[in-house]
A and B are shown apart, each in its own frame.
Chain A
Amino acid sequence: MKSLQTRRRRVLGLIAGTALLPLVAKSGGAIIAADNDLPALIKRLSGNAKLTEGGIRLTIPELADTGFSVPVSIDVESAMSGSDIVKSIHLIAPRNPRPLVASIALSPLMARASWTTRIRLGGSQEVMAIAVMADGSARAGRADVVVSISACIDGT
């Protein structure tokens, strides 16, 4: 009976080990490593500018039943004409395996500095958006979201 149990454990261990292997191999990548350093990532995206809170709104449900598809809207207060232009917006989910969700370069052809999409979330977290303005200043907006079921579960 005992030998059967040890064999079962060894098999389980082997399965767990092989399941982890690709993750370990991937996490060695330079891009991911750089992305997971959140302060460095924010610094890189904002072009070293000091982040000011406000002037940007992040709309996201307070409670998401699953993290597989969560609607997010980023709205920046900007006329999108003259010198009051948003150059780029960046969406960051700090608890995701790859925190940088999207980087969008905007142009004055847009009626509003507003962009909506659906994102994956690896757990409850404070999602963050950074807007870089044409004059080089940067704004940050944050919103808390509670996720019941993470998008980061094994596919098996």
Chain B
Amino acid sequence: MALARLSVQSKARRGEAVPVRLVIQHPMETGFQMDTQGRPVAKNLIRFVVCRYAGREVWRAELGSGIAANPYVEFSLRADMTGDIEMNWEDDLGEKGSVRARLDVA
């Protein structure tokens, strides 16, 4: 289970732009690197991240080897209803991760 942090406020007014930040602990191995013995390090990238808010898809990102280790994403969503902000992702080794945070909209 990959470590991740989803940083978002817990309360918002309806229609407010809510900033959301996500960071996932992951090496994002490109497959181009060698280890200390000169052997290639197997490619292991987070292939996609999906962001959902109250069950609806906000964005879906396909990531490549050009994303830095420990992927970081920042964006803002429009608060319209109370619900969970949820991130899901999967890497090349098939390891899945998710993190969620509740947003109360008044």
Chain A: minimal CB distance from B21 (Å): 9
Q: Is the CB of A96 within 8 A of B65?
A: yes
Q: Is the CB of A69 within 8 A of B59?
A: no
Interface-forming stretch among A1-9, A48-56, A113-121, A141-149?
A113-121
Number of residues in A with C-beta < 8 Å to the partner? 43
Dominant secondary structure at the B interface:
strand
Q: Is the CB of A111 within 8 A of B67?
A: no
Given contacts A23-B32, A26-B31, is CB(A110)–CB(B77) below 8 Å? yes
Given contacts A115-B75, A116-B75, is CB(A107)–CB(B59) below 8 Å? yes
CA distance A26 to B41 in the complex (A): 13
Chain A: minimal CB distance from B96 (Å): 19
Residues of A within 8 Å of B75, CB to CB, are: 110, 112, 114-116
CA distance A103 to B61 in the complex (A): 6
Q: Is B30 an interface residue (CB 8 A)?
A: yes
The one of B36, B38, B58 in contact with A109, judged by C-beta atoms closer than 8 angstroms, is B58
Residues of A within 8 Å of B67, CB to CB, are: 101-102, 117-120
Number of residues in B with C-beta < 8 Å to the partner? 36
Q: Is the CB of A120 within 8 A of B58?
A: no
CA distance A121 to B53 in the complex (A): 32
27 residue pairs bridging A and B, Cβ less than 8 Å apart: A19-B38, A26-B32, A69-B68, A93-B66, A97-B32, A97-B65, A98-B30, A98-B66, A102-B64, A105-B60, A106-B58, A106-B59, A107-B58, A109-B78, A111-B78, A112-B17, A115-B74, A116-B74, A117-B71, A118-B72, A120-B30, A151-B68, A154-B33, A155-B33, A155-B35, A156-B35, A156-B38
The one of B57, B61, B68, B80 in contact with A118, judged by C-beta atoms closer than 8 angstroms, is B68
Residues of A within 8 Å of B65, CB to CB, are: 96-98, 120
Q: Is B18 an interface residue (CB 8 A)?
A: yes
The one of A23, A26, A115, A119 in contact with B59, judged by C-beta atoms closer than 8 angstroms, is A115
Residues of A within 8 Å of B17, CB to CB, are: 111-112
The one of B30, B66, B73 in contact with A100, judged by C-beta atoms closer than 8 angstroms, is B66
